Amino acid sequence: MIFPAEGAHPYLRDLPEAELHLLNTGHFAIEEDGDVIARLIQSFMKRQVLRTDEAIASPAAGS
């Protein structure tokens, strides 16, 4: 998601698993920093999928 900093910070309160990366880009963030944005998304997704897969493989005791 792409928001100005003021609009992005509330997401951290509402979505504790979220990450916030502020990039110095203009209106065309994807065109200016598409490679950086893609790497950040890929890294986040890899970590989230790995954590989800681990939770499925090893359910908490007593669940």
pLDDT tens, position by position, 26-62: 889 899 999 999 999 999 999 888 776 667 777 665 4
Average pLDDT over residues 8-20: 87
Q: Which of 34, 38, 3 is nearest to 20 (CA)?
A: 3
| The pLDDT of residue 23 is above 80 | yes
CA distance 9 to 20: 8
* Predicted local distance difference test score (pLDDT) of residue 34: 95
* Predicted local distance difference test score (pLDDT) of residue 6: 86
Read off the amino acid at residue 39.
R
* Predicted local distance difference test score (pLDDT) of residue 1: 66
pTM reported for the whole predicted model: 0.68
